[in-house]
Amino acid sequence: MNSADKIYHLAIPGVQQLIPYKPGKPIEELEREFGLTRVIKLASNENPLGPGKKALAAIQSILKDMALYPDGSGFGLKHALAVKYAVESDQITLGNGSNEILELAARAFLTPGLEVIFSQHAFAVYPIVTQAVGATAVVVTAVKYGHDLEAMLESVTEKTRIVFIANPNNPTGTLLSQTALESFISALPESCVCVLDEAYFEFVSSAEPIDSIDWLKTYPNLIITRTFSKAYGLAGLRVGYGLSSPQIADILNRVRQPFNNNALALAAAEAALTDSEHLQQTIATNARGMEQLTDGFKNLGLEWIPSAGNFVLVDLKRLAQPVYEALLRKGVIVRPVANYGLPNHLRISIGTHEENRLFLKALTDSLQDV
Ligand SMILES: *Cc1c(COP(=O)(O)O)cnc(C)c1O
């Protein structure tokens, strides 16, 4: 082994074997590779309407203050979230994206020898943060692409310290009922922290109201994570948050960097919370787009997994990679999900009406090409 390779052995065991998260392909990269000028990205569940006007105005108004450190306590944003969700500010942990909350939880609660439970086909960040701290991942087989809560509960041992649940789940879009979820959480031992990842909860139909915040009163071991990256259209700024008991928030805040949220992110997120018009428009665009895409799949004779999020998994009934590549050549970026154990599916983020139309056309052509 040469000395460059030996350096890898200095990393802790989990990191030596770690395969980093693979993000959706950036638009500029595809434009460079294929010399394309019009590229559509429906790959990272971003808001196709962009950020709202209020968030943009808030950013503009504080640009002049960029020489100053941000408010490390995030007072304004926490206060606005506390009012919105009727919790106390000391129950909130702000993160550089909700991804950071997942990572803070892993760093604060895990050590080698402890176990973490999550579902097959669940969000790719759970195995990464688990492995990075040397804890043991216990992956529970999915049922109908969704979480098997009974089997997850049966997998709990005295070594289990975290259970990750994404609801709705990414990439499958599956949604657990609130009743099933609450009885799962109530059956967990208090020694096991439940991280309920609600990155897409704003898109869940009001026919299935989400009442997880009420559960915080009863379960001190519950962390709910949410984000400004999806429905609020601020993915580029990196801002998300955890809601929990004050004790868990205190623990998470101990391992958090003092200035983990930049000043633009704090200001934009706080303003975005007041922009219900943009949020409603986003939700309506998503609902119409979901119908447009699934109608298109139906016309093509394709099946899909019903999704509660702002994306949908379509089943091509054959290897998806060649179709993914054919779509790239036509300037459309979607997301292959073979790394989630779903080699025949593609995940499509819901776009604007025009983006969805162009995608469906490109898909129709690509299915004939390959
Ligand atoms: C997008 C996503 C997140 C969070 O993303 P951030 O941009 O870090 O807030 C978290 N969980 C799931 C399941 C997601 O899909």
Any idea what the Cα angle at residue 13 is, between residues 10 and 17, rounded to 5°?
Answer: 105
pLDDT at 23 over 90: no
66: CB partners within 8 A, 6+ apart = 263
Question: Which residue, among 240, 232, 236, has the nearest Cα to 279 in the 3D structure?
Answer: 232
**Biggest distance spanned by C-alpha atoms of the chain:** 60
User: Is the Cβ–Cβ distance between 122 and 169 less than 8 Å?
Assistant: yes
Question: Which residue, among 99, 155, 105, has the nearest Cα to 135 in the 3D structure?
Answer: 105
pTM of the model: 0.96
Using left for φ > 0, alpha for ψ between -120 and 50, and beta otherwise, residue 273 falls in alpha
Mutate to test the pocket of ligand 1, among 22, 44, 94, 99 (most ligand atoms within 8 A of CB): 99
Q: Give the pLDDT confidence score for residue 54 in this predicted structure.
A: 98
DSSP string, 50-87: -S-HHHHHHHHHHGGGTTSPP-TT-HHHHHHHHHHHT-
Q: Where in the chain is the domain with CATH 3.40.640.10?
A: 53-272
Of 24 and 53, the one with more pLDDT: 53
User: Could you tell me which residues are beta bridge partners of residue 206?
Assistant: none
Q: Where in the chain is the domain with CATH 3.90.1150.10?
A: 3-50+277-369
pLDDT at 24 over 90: no
Give the mean model confidence (pLDDT) for residues 283-294. 98
User: Is the Cβ–Cβ distance between 328 and 321 less than 8 Å?
Assistant: no
Ligand 1: nearest atom to the Cα of 45: 1
Assigned CATH topology for domain 3-50+277-369: Aspartate Aminotransferase, domain 1 (3.90.1150)
What residue's CA is closest to ligand 1, atom 6?
A: 97
Please give the sequence-ordered ranges of beta strands (E in DSSP) within 36-186, or none if there are none.
40-41, 92-95, 115-119, 136-140, 160-166
Ligand 1: nearest atom to the Cα of 235: 7
pLDDT band at 1 (very low <50, low <70, confident <90, very high): confident
User: Could you tell me which residues are beta bridge partners of residue 346?
Assistant: 314, 336
Nearest-angstrom CA–CA distance, 70 and 93: 15
**Least confident range of 15-24, 62-71, 118-127, 169-178:** 15-24
What residue's CA is closest to ligand 1, atom 15?
A: 170
pLDDT at 13 over 90: no
Q: pLDDT by residue (tens digit) across 298-326?
A: 999 999 999 999 999 999 999 999 999 99
Distance 230 CA to ligand 1 centre (A): 8
Query: What is the chain's mean pLDDT, rounded?
Result: 96
pLDDT at 51 over 80: yes
Rounded to a whole number of angstroms, the distance between the first and last alpha carbons of the chain is 42
Q: State what percent of residues in the chain have pLDDT above 70.
A: 100
Ligand 1: nearest atom to the Cα of 96: 8
Distances (CA, A) of 84 to 30, 215, 276: 40, 16, 12
Distance 362 CA to ligand 1 centre (A): 27
What residue's CA is closest to ligand 1, atom 10?
A: 199
245, two tokens: 């008991």
pLDDT at 21 over 90: no
pLDDT at 5 over 90: no
Pocket of ligand 1 (CB under 6 A): 45, 97-99, 123, 166, 170, 197, 199, 227, 229-230, 235, 240
Give the mean model confidence (pLDDT) for residues 18-30. 85
Q: Give the pLDDT confidence score for residue 159 in this predicted structure.
A: 98
Q: Give the pLDDT confidence score for residue 145 in this predicted structure.
A: 96
Q: Give the pLDDT confidence score for residue 333 in this predicted structure.
A: 96
What residue's CA is closest to ligand 1, atom 3?
A: 199
User: Is the Cβ–Cβ distance between 242 and 98 less than 8 Å?
Assistant: yes
Distance 104 CA to ligand 1 centre (A): 14
Assigned CATH topology for domain 53-272: Aspartate Aminotransferase; domain 2 (3.40.640)
Q: State what percent of residues in the chain have pLDDT above 90.
A: 89
Look at residue 251 and give its three-state secondary structure: helix
User: Is the Cβ–Cβ distance between 253 and 93 less than 8 Å?
Assistant: yes
For residue 146, the 8-state DSSP code is B
Q: Give the pLDDT confidence score for residue 133 in this predicted structure.
A: 95
Q: Give the pLDDT confidence score for residue 311 in this predicted structure.
A: 98
pLDDT at 30 over 90: no
Give the mean model confidence (pLDDT) for residues 329-333. 95
pLDDT at 229 over 80: yes
pLDDT band at 34 (very low <50, low <70, confident <90, very high): confident
